[in-house]
């Protein structure tokens, strides 16, 4: 009976997490138990551009303490992730050089069954990703503000229509100067997007 109750509790907690998106608050604090992994400089760069990380042998060895079956290529989300994390495997980018993997994921090996499809869909996601240096990437390529403004203007909607949403995925907190810089850039883009009835999600 105790085991059954424990399973139900884990399942209910996981369900709450999925419905709310990744379990991380506005201060980049993960609010469930998680495994923290340090990222190499190369991994930080890839996460910043693509929100994907290739786990190295050392990181996989640490994960093996919890499970023997885990993907080497892992999707990374942030607090800006705009969707639920329903039955998905992912890591959370919560510090410049750290990701956290929620421990409850190790209790649901069936998540692996649909992971490859999920991974491919994430790679094709048409959003803008901001890295730890404040650089903005679209589909893996660094872009400037002129490119982004052009992208926004091409999605113009009339005032009678529902606005189009353009997604920007912010990095975790790096420092106050970087946060202010990103805020300034996004505020200017929000002002610009309002002219075209385009909504910016950050």
Per residue of the chain (202 residues), what is the pLDDT tens digit? 444 333 334 444 444 444 468 999 999 999 999 999 999 999 999 999 999 999 999 999 999 999 988 999 999 999 998 877 777 889 999 999 999 999 988 887 777 777 877 788 878 888 999 999 999 999 999 999 999 999 999 999 877 788 899 999 999 999 999 999 999 999 999 999 999 999 999 9
The residue extents of the domains of the chain are 2-125, 136-201
- The 3-class secondary structure across 120-168, one letter per residue, is HHHHCCCCEEECCCCCEEECCEEECHHHHHHHHHCCCCCCCCCCEEEEE
Classify burial at 2, counting beta carbons within 10 Å of its beta carbon; exposed 0-12, middle 13-18, buried 19 or more. Answer: exposed
Question: Sign of torsion, CA 8 85 194 26?
Answer: positive
């Amino acid at each position: 009976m105790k085991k059954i109750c424990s399973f139900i509790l884990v399942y209910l907690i996981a369900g709450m997490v999925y419905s709310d998106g990744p379990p991380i608050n506005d201060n980049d604090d993960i609010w469930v138990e998680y495994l923290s992994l340090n990222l190499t400089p190369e991994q930080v760069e890839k996460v910043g551009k693509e929100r994907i990380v290739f786990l190295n042998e050392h990181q996989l060895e640490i994960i093996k303490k919890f499970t023997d079956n885990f993907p080497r290529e892992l999707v990374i989300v942030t607090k800006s992730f705009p969707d639920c994390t329903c039955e998905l495997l992912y890591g959370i980018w919560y510090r410049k050089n750290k990701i956290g993997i929620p421990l409850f994921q190790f209790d649901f090996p069936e998540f692996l069954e649909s992971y490859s499809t999920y991974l491919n869909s994430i790679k094709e996601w048409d959003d803008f990703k901001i890295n730890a240096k404040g650089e903005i990437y679209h589909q893996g390529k660094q872009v400037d503000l002129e490119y982004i403004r052009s992208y926004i203007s091409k999605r113009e909607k009339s005032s009678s229509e529902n606005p189009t949403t353009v997604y920007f995925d912010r990095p975790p907190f790096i420092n106050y100067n970087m946060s202010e810089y990103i805020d300034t850039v996004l505020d200017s883009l929000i002002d610009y997007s309002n002219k075209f009835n385009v909504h910016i999600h950050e």
